[in-house]
Amino acid sequence: MKKIVSKKVLVPIIAIAFLFIGSSYKSDFFEIAKQIEIFTTLFKELNMNYVDETNPAELMDTAIKNMLNELDPYTKFLNEQDVETYRINNAGEYSGIGAMVRSFDDRLLIIEPHEGYPADKAGLKAGDELIQIGDIKVADFENNASELLKGANGSTVTVTYKRQGKLKTTSITREGIEVDAVPFFKMIDNKTGYIVLAKFNAKATDQTKAALLDLKGKGAEKIILDLRDNPGGLLSEAINVTNLFVPKGELVVTTKSKVKKFNREYHTNNQPVDEEIPLVVLVNGSSASASEIVSGSLQDLDRAVIMGARSFGKGLVQRPLKLTYGTQLKVTISRYYTSSGRCIQSLDYWNRDESGNAVRNTTFNDFTTRNGRKVQDGGGILPDIEVATSKTNDLTLALLQNNVIFDYATDYHYTHSYADVNDFKFTDADFNAFKNYVKQSSFSFETKAEQAIKKALSGDENDFLGSDVKDSYKTLLANIEKGKLNALDRYQSEIQKNLEDEIVKRYFYRDGLYQYYLNNDEAILAATELLSNNSKYSAILK
């Protein structure tokens, strides 16, 4: 019998039923019960009478996901496996191979092996494509093949992988992995300390506090807290990290919901480590959620100067709700508001465009910090000082999302050698080589202008335009294509920053990248310079 997962026939029916259910929660209990009964009978009749054999679990999983897709991307159904992953992410400990692994276009790639952990000991490197895990070929595995790498401490798995066109095999012995919230901290000079806070798991406050005390013990009189690329995590940790720098009793964040019990004000509960030390917080477009609570509230309280680029803009709060059979619903329960009263949610998932995409907020409301400085809501945290290389753009994002920068770094690593991180220098000649790599690759992305032109030219109703007009449009499209290649030069600083980050990790791991930052990162250099100028630092906050 055939196994059916027909999205064209089955998903619309089930998704529509669930959409009725989703909307009915705003109505009375009778309507809820009615819609559930309709879906239950539909689901039973479908599975009993459909022409081919169905898989009830897969159908239900598809139906649930399609229903939740109508809401926001953070409201998700978690099966037992997802619940365990969620717990691991928050706890910061798990058993595995110690590497970041991701699927790209049906390829399962090692993205970053962590120094000294099993994958690294077994010789795996970033860019290696996993072909077979144990007895299972990745291409034949329907689910997430990275799950095959998990296992108990001390257990061994054999993997076959492709590197630069050649197949290799190695055995990996799994072990306990600890995920540090603070992977790096160090003195930049004799008075300035630097702390990287990479995630808000259960270790965030303790490790940030330990790093702060260590640096102060070494003579730090100023601190740079790096929240760039920090996707967030636990709300409680965000409040407690903020508390390290502000007094007890300060309002950090407020949550507002239609459910009364979720309406709360969160204040600091402890004595700070240091409420006077000059502080610069670095953010970028990948700093989200808890990172924005910390940076936004420190900005609102005039406790820190924020530098970098506008943050992601996630002002929605989720809570896991237990369901049956060990599953959970991670549901958006409220919006959060920083201490000045602003919500920095960037995308409006409840008002979508014609394509069904969430609309980005473009109208901002003004708020004031404690000292009366103007800040705004609705679009992430806007830094007090913007840094060019911290910004992003559509071209850079496309290069990252299509793995072009990653794949170039892989090839670069096997054609260049460096003994020390201080020897690395990405030259203009290297950037020209990257541009040629892009031109020769299959990389392409459509601008909004291209999409509009192609849409205008499609359809029989545009035949009356004539060949001359259509040829002009084609010429325009060709010129746009050339302009995109020229944009590689226009955005060189942003693109080169991402290239350098990816390449340095290939040789010197994550620790080496942070070492490289201390002498080469534009944002850190600018922050260090600002902190050396007390009058300028104070003037920004006042």
Residues labelled as active-site residues: 289, 300, 314
User: Which residue in 268, 257, 260 sits closest to 315, CA to CA?
Assistant: 257
What secondary structure does DSSP assign to 46-101, as a single string?
Answer: HHHH-SS-B-HHHHHHHHHHHHHTTS-TT-EEE-HHHHHHHHHHHHTEEEE-SEEE
Torsion of CA 482, 487, 490, 491, to 10 degrees: -160
Residue 530 DSSP SS3: helix
- Give me the sign of the Cα torsion angle 244, 248, 251, 253: positive
Question: How many Å apart are CA 12 and CA 28, to the nearest integer?
Answer: 25
Q: How many CA atoms lie within 13 A of 311 on its CB side?
A: 37
Q: How many CA atoms lie within 13 A of 134 on its CB side?
A: 14
Do residues 62 and 10 make contact, with C-beta atoms less than 8 angstroms apart? Answer: yes
Distance between alpha carbon 327 and the CA centroid of its chain, in Å?
Answer: 24
Question: How many Å apart are CA 320 and CA 173, to the nearest integer?
Answer: 33
Radius of gyration, CA atoms only, the chain: 26
> Which is it for strands 385-386 and 305-308: parallel, antiparallel or unpaired?
parallel
- Give me the sign of the Cα torsion angle 104, 110, 114, 117: positive
Do residues 375 and 299 make contact, with C-beta atoms less than 8 angstroms apart? Answer: yes
| β-bridge partners, 193 | 187, 223
> Which is it for strands 156-163 and 129-133: parallel, antiparallel or unpaired?
antiparallel
- Give me the sign of the Cα torsion angle 370, 371, 377, 383: negative
Supply 510's token pair. Answer: 């994550």
Largest CA-CA distance found in the chain, in angstroms, rounded: 77
Buried b (16+ CB within 10 A) or exposed e, 390-428: bbbeebbebbeebbbbbbbbbebbeeeebeebeebebee
- How many other CB atoms sit within 10 Å of the CB of residue 206? 13
